Structure 1
Amino acid sequence: MLETATPTRPAAHPTAAQLRARRQRRERLTNAAAYTVLVVIALIMLYPFYWTLITSLEPTGNIYEAKLLPQSLGIKNYHEVWVGTTVPFWRMIINSMVICTAGVLLTVTCAALAAYPLAKMTFPGRDLIFYAILILLVLPNEAGLIVNYITVTKLGLLRFDDPFLRAFGQYAAVVLPGIASIFGLFLFRQAYLGVPTELLEAARIDGASELSIWRKIMLPLALPTVAAFAILEFVAYWNSFLWARIVIQDKELLPLSAGLLELSGTFSTNSRAVMAGAILMIIPILLVFAFGQRYFMKGLEGAVKG
């Protein structure tokens, strides 16, 4: 007796709703994995700062022991730095503010001025000059230490005997080598390229000079870039350490980042006080980023689009 074969049903195709659910499930898993990796990286990067914070709050204990919670809490180390029993803390803050103010103003002004002809003026070799300057970005900052030191010495900035001129000369020696910022030149040039040339042509027809065009048209339109670059330069000058230690001869003129090294003596080092000073030094940078984050992101976006 012959058996009749039963026909097999064709596999049902998934519906659009099922495909959408699978896609959403796959996206959720991918996002969860990505966020997990990012959280782990963030914790690894933030732990040294957290370790510095809790160690600065501990009056005693092993500072080289990895820990999640402090063994005890106190403000003894902050008090030592704050009242200036070891280093002139408030004088160093004033020094840092003077250096940062002068450095940011001069650097932003020079970069904004120098980028204008390289972006909006036509002359032979313009692009060649820009790319030749840009190549210098590959050189580390340390490559110019000897040249910069010889330059500030030849200018006589470290030879004043008068107390006021001596302070002025050493502050100027810290600031001057950094005012020619190649990165700032690139940032402003990219921002200027996004400004329509028709605006400049209309201003020239009306008889405006190039300096007036830069001041009244280009600079207002590039304000986000000005804010972003000013924040970057503030952080750079505030954290100035090596160059400040080289050129500043009077310890009372040292900025905060370089002056905290004075907490480390020849035979003993108050590491907890150094960490407390480092935490206090970070606070202004955090405040600047907190209040200027919106302008900082706008400035970088404008430079990238340009």
Structure 2
Amino acid sequence: MPEVTTRPMTQEVAAQIKVRRKQRERVRNVLAYAVLIVIALIMLYPFYWTVVTSLESTGGIYQPKWWPSDFSLRNYAEVWRGTTVPFWRLIVNSLIICTLGVFFSVTLATLAAYPLAKMKFPGRDLIFYAILMLMVLPNEAGLIVNYITTIKLGLLSQTDFPVLDMAKQYLAVVLPGMASIVGLFLLRQAYLGVPLELLEAARIDGASELTIWRRIMLPLALPTIVAFSILEFVAYWNSFLWARIMLPDKELLPLSAGLLELSGTFSTNSRAVMAGAVITIIPILIVFAFGQKYFMKGLEGAVKG
């Protein structure tokens, strides 16, 4: 008889505990989402403020606002005709620099990560961790060295061939970012997740290391490669300081650096600069929108590796 009465009591207590646990979990989720929403709003408001300001033709630009007081697209028209260099040329320059930068960075990272992940040689891990230690250095620490190297390579010298000079100046902007430590780390971690049995089977079949890298490693690491490509695209698209240093010819400036041409000697059209900033951000948003799936999957795979 006691067993009959104890069992329902035990089930009731267990049900109450389960309900309380779900309630606590629901409260934690609500609080977590609330905090994340607040952080997201704080992060998004500067961009929203930039968009609103770019759509106004009059009024103050520093007062907080939720909607344009005087809706106008005049600032966007001013961007297209207000720069010393044609705006379309700035966009073309950015696309050329991003294409070259992403291609060389991804190629070098995918090649360099393979021996550091799948080949055995003395000092392999020491070399990798020594490279990682360089990440603590700010990019500005290498400006002088990179500038001297660029000069020694003759990338800033002028010739009688304008097309060659233009190609060399584009290469000068891309060169310092080709060897990406972040890309090397991401690709090495992705390669570490590839089973050694696949590589051994390919070697038994007579495949060379280059063939293994091209036909096995690259397809399996594709999400990480796409994620790294997106990161590099954003980095090159936003290049400003190095581009201003290495490109004395304003006709070759990328978009982010070329927006400075909207500023006059004695005054600045702040709303036009805001409109230019919005136009600059749009391609990045498009790239993230279409590559979000691969981006998240690639970073997740790199961290697991």
Q: TM-score, normalised by structure 2?
A: 0.93
In structure 2, distance between residues paired with 1:46 and 1:73: 21
Structure 1 residue aligned with 2:211: 212
RMSD: 1.4
Q: SS state of the match for residue 169, structure 1?
A: helix
Query: Among the aligned pairs, what percent are the same residue?
Result: 75
Which of 67, 71, 74 aligns to 1:73? It is 71
1:172 aligns with 2:167: no
In structure 2, distance between residues paired with 1:185 and 1:163: 35
Q: Is the 8 A contact 2:83 2:261 kept in 1?
A: no
State the Cα distance separating 1:17 from its structure 2 match. 2.7
Q: Is the 8 A contact 2:109 2:187 kept in 1?
A: yes
Q: Is the 8 A contact 1:81 1:87 kept in 2?
A: no
In structure 2, distance between residues paired with 1:247 and 1:87: 17
In structure 1, distance between residues paired with 2:260 and 2:109: 32
Q: Is the 8 A contact 1:224 1:299 kept in 2?
A: yes
Structure 1 residue aligned with 2:6: none
1:259 aligns with 2:258: yes
Structure 1 residue aligned with 2:5: none
Which of 75, 96, 99 aligns to 1:98? It is 96
**Inter-CA distance 86–79: structure 2 relative to 1 (3 Å threshold):** farther
Question: Match for 1:282: what amino acid?
Answer: I
Map 1:135-146 → 2, pairs under 5 A: 135-146=133-144
Per-residue CA distance 1:79-138 (angstroms, 9 max, x = gap): 111345654110000000000000000000000000001111111111111111111011
1:244 aligns with 2:243: yes
Larger Rg: 1
Structure 1 residue aligned with 2:47: 49
Structure 2 residue aligned with 1:298: 297
Per-residue CA distance 1:266-306 (angstroms, 9 max, x = gap): 10101100110000011110000000010111111111111
Question: Match for 2:269: what amino acid?
Answer: N
Q: Is the 8 A contact 1:160 1:169 kept in 2?
A: no
Per-residue CA distance 1:152-175 (angstroms, 9 max, x = gap): 011111112332122111100000
In structure 2, distance between residues paired with 1:186 and 1:26: 39
Structure 2 residue aligned with 1:274: 273
**Inter-CA distance 295–269: structure 2 relative to 1 (3 Å threshold):** same
In structure 2, distance between residues paired with 1:128 and 1:57: 54
Question: Match for 1:41: what amino acid?
Answer: I
In structure 2, distance between residues paired with 1:107 and 1:163: 26
Q: SS state of the match for residue 21, structure 1?
A: helix
Question: Match for 2:297: what amino acid?
Answer: K
In structure 2, distance between residues paired with 1:216 and 1:22: 53
Q: TM-score, normalised by structure 1?
A: 0.93
State the Cα distance separating 1:69 from its structure 2 match. 2.0
Question: Match for 1:303: what amino acid?
Answer: A
In structure 1, distance between residues paired with 2:85 and 2:51: 20
Unaligned runs of 5+ in 2: 1-8
Q: Which moved more, 1:244-253 or 1:67-76?
A: 67-76
In structure 2, distance between residues paired with 1:286 and 1:156: 36
Higher helix proportion (structure 1 or 2):
2
In structure 2, distance between residues paired with 1:39 and 1:196: 40
